[in-house]
Every structure is written in structure tokens, then in C-alpha cells.
A and B are shown apart, each in its own frame.
Chain A
């Protein structure tokens, strides 16, 4: 079946540093979605990328979809303590498969 892997699994950064998580699929994706789960919370939709090579920005967050539509990345500039949580990518085929997630800790 389809697998969506994310790296790193964990990331600790000092507040103000940048952060990047990478998502890799074993198959070509029709689109990719990103979700954020705060500690003790539930996943919340952040964004969807559809086009090959697409780049979208949300304030300090930059999302990219690879040219081959098999990988994606989320980059956070100048992290803040509010960025803490686990970031998941989701690569739907006939099902909604979520990546393994990257847990971000921001040290004040």
C-alpha cells in the first residue's frame, strides 16, 4: 500500500530558528495536505497543494510540492512557541494516508 514517510520524526529548535519537515511518498500523489496537531489536541488542516512544483505561503509557513508530486516540505521561519506540535502530511489515493509526523519542540 501507499506509504508516506516524514523526516525528521522529532525536532527541537531554539525559538527564532527555522524548521523544516519533509514528506516523501512511494507513489505519485494527486495532491498533498498538511495538518497540525497541538499537544493534547486534534489534527487541524493547514493547507492543500495540488500542482507540481507549487509553493504556498501562510505567514511564516512555506509549503512546497515537488515537481514529481512525490514529496513535499513545510518550512517555518523564525519559530515561535506557538508553533509547537506535530505536523502531518497527508497523501490521499483512495484513502487518506497520513505521514508519520514530525514533532516540533520550540525552546524559549
Chain B
């Protein structure tokens, strides 16, 4: 158990809809990362937050947004969903968000857009 909690584990929705994925980092970790993993694909970095502030942005679509709340949990909002958004979404956390820290991953949310 990495200590990172993601909910829900599975999500099935239709095209055009909006969903929210939730992540609770390990106790004490201030930084949260979101990654997208499509079938047989690598881990695409989406966005990073540190203590409530956006720190780095990767290949995140404009239809996607995220935030980190004062209690340090984070939410990834996906809107106007398309079939191609079907993927496994991982959240990871680290203590300070420094690049020499290892990441602890949650179990992921499997999103299926039908």
C-alpha cells in the first residue's frame, strides 16, 4: 500500500460528460502529480501541484483541469469527454515535489468513455 488513495477505482461514462477523479496523497506529502496511461502506453504527465499551487503543467488538454485543496487532496476534472479519453489515470505524491524525490502512486482510476 503506497498510502495514496484514488477514488473511484472505476468510472464508466458517456461522451460529452464530465467526471471528477479524486486523490488523497500520502500523509505529509505536499505535492501531487497526475498521469494518464492509455492502453499499452506510457505515463503521460498531466500536471503537478505543490501545497495548493500549480507547479508544472504537461500534456494536459484544455478540457481537463485540476486543483489541490487546503487539506492537500486533489481533484482532476475531465469535461466534454471523448472516446480517446478512456485511460487509466494515476495520481502520485511526494513530500516536497523536488525532482530528487521518489513518487508514490495510487492504484489509479480506470475511466471508460462509451
Binding site for B on A (CB under 8 A): 30-31, 33, 35, 41-45, 48, 50, 88, 90, 92-101, 103
Contacts and interface: CB of A to CB of B under 8 A. Distances in A.
A100 B48 contact: no
A96 B106 contact: no
B43 interface: yes
Contacts of B90: 42-43
Interface residues of B, number: 21
Contacts of B92: 43, 96
B102 A31 contact: no
Q: Select the residue from A42, A43, A97, A103 with max chain B CB neighbours within 10 A.
A: A42
Contacts of A30: 99-100
Q: Select the residue from A35, A41, A45, A97 with max chain B CB neighbours within 10 A.
A: A45
Contact of A95 (B2, B45, B106, B108): B45
A33 B102 contact: yes
Contact of B105 (A42, A50, A97, A99): A42
B45 A48 contact: no
A42 B106 contact: yes
B42 to A, nearest CB: 5
